[in-house]
Amino acid sequence: MARPFVFPDPNDRSPNEPSVIVSSAQVLGLYNQDSGDASKMVRVTGKVQEWIEQKAKENCWDEIQFAGNQCVLKVKLAMRKLPSSEDAE
């Protein structure tokens, strides 16, 4: 049996990598696994995109964009200013 698809977690992001690309296979896998739709989708359609966008918002992603059949999820992270060597003087 195949491993279930897991929706990306925004808490796994860092200031150096605040976004993640969800491949079209992952998008379709998530939709087909969790949407409750009886028909299995084979293409990333508007219906699939809307469902992914709603799930991403429920999972606290700040920005959701589709680039072709892939989905880019972004989270806004607070950047901390590190003290410079000049501040130590």
pLDDT along the chain (89 residues), means of 10: 86 92 96 90 95 96 96 84 60
Q: Which residues contact 70 (CB under 8 A, 6 or more apart)?
A: 21, 22, 23, 24, 27
Distance CA 1, CA 87 (A): 57
Q: What is the pTM of this model?
A: 0.81
Q: What pLDDT score does 77 carry? A: 81
Q: What pLDDT score does 57 carry? A: 96
Distance CA 54, CA 77 (A): 21
Q: What pLDDT score does 9 carry? A: 94
Q: What pLDDT score does 44 carry? A: 96
Q: What pLDDT score does 28 carry? A: 96
